[in-house]
Amino acid sequence: MSPKDILEKYKKGEIDLPEALEQFPKRGIEEMGFATIDIDRQSRTGLPEVIYASGKTVEQVKLIAERMYQKGIDVLATRVTPEMADAVKTVIPDSEYNAIARTISYKKSNDIEPDGYIAVIAAGTSDMPVAEEAAITARFLGNEVKTVYDVGVAGIHRLFNKLELIRNARVLIVVAGMEGALTSVVGGLVDKPVIGVPTSIGYGANFQGLSALLAMLNSCASGVSVVNIDNGFGAACQASLINKL
């Protein structure tokens, strides 16, 4: 029940004061025993509840997605296995699975922020799972997204071929593994916020993305911020909030 519904019921005498007060803490919470869904997160923070599927069972992911769907909440799950996607599709047939991004999503409407787009730039094709997670999430959050893939510093001329698209974006997400240099390069070319996403792609001295993370944190380009290793989702959330200011 919304606060208005609770107060109306109290006004009409349908519930007493103690019962009305008891309802307020429960508003926005959907308890499932093994999970507690934050129904009010969208109105409170501008970002909706999202399912992080890694570590959950197939059945848990399916039941959470089903409950959100029943409550009229748009559904996005990240780090989804094919088995999880198949299970979600049994309860939300219109949901869309992206095998590269490892996401499954369902939206009632596809309203898009009309005034600016987010550019997702990936250094290499191997970085695409993280870049696609960012792109899918940003679109789910109502943003227009344009992608530029495989334009890393080993062939920097490929990036310059997309320079107009890059410079016209309102926010840029730059995804890179190996040495993570692309974030600094893009940061030195644009006058927009740049969000670096280091990936765990690389040979041994990459240390599962640690070298790319440190390179991005030590960037000498102004206006660059950095999220955690492989966190395309987090970058997309930050980019969406900036794009909608």
Residues of the chain with pLDDT below 50 are none
Q: What is the pLDDT of residue 1?
A: 55
| pTM of the shown model | 0.85
| 3 state SS for the chain | CCHHHHHHHHHCCCCCHHHHHHHHHHCCEEECCCCEEECCHHHHHCCCCCEECCCCCHHHHHHHHHHHHHCCCCEEEECCCHHHHHHHHHHCCCCEEECCCCEEEECCCCCCEEEEEEEEEECCHHHHHHHHHHHHHHHHCCEEEEEEECCCHHHCHHHHCCHHHHHCCCEEEEEECCCCCHHHHHHCCCCCCEEEEECCCCCHHHHHHHHHHHHHHCCCCCCEEECCCCCHHHHHHHHHHHHCC
Q: What is the pLDDT of residue 27?
A: 62
Q: What is the pLDDT of residue 26?
A: 59
Q: What is the pLDDT of residue 25?
A: 56
Condensed to tens digits (0 to 9), the pLDDT of residues 124-182 reads: 999 999 999 999 999 999 999 999 999 988 899 999 999 999 999 999 999 999 888 99
Q: What is the pLDDT of residue 98?
A: 96
Task: Kindly list the domain boundaries of the chain, sorted by start residue.
Answer: 21-106, 113-243
CATH code linked to domain 113-243: 3.40.50.1970
Q: Which of 157, 165, 215, 222 is nearest to 194 (CA)?
A: 222
Q: Give the C-alpha separation, 29 to 44, whole Å.
A: 13
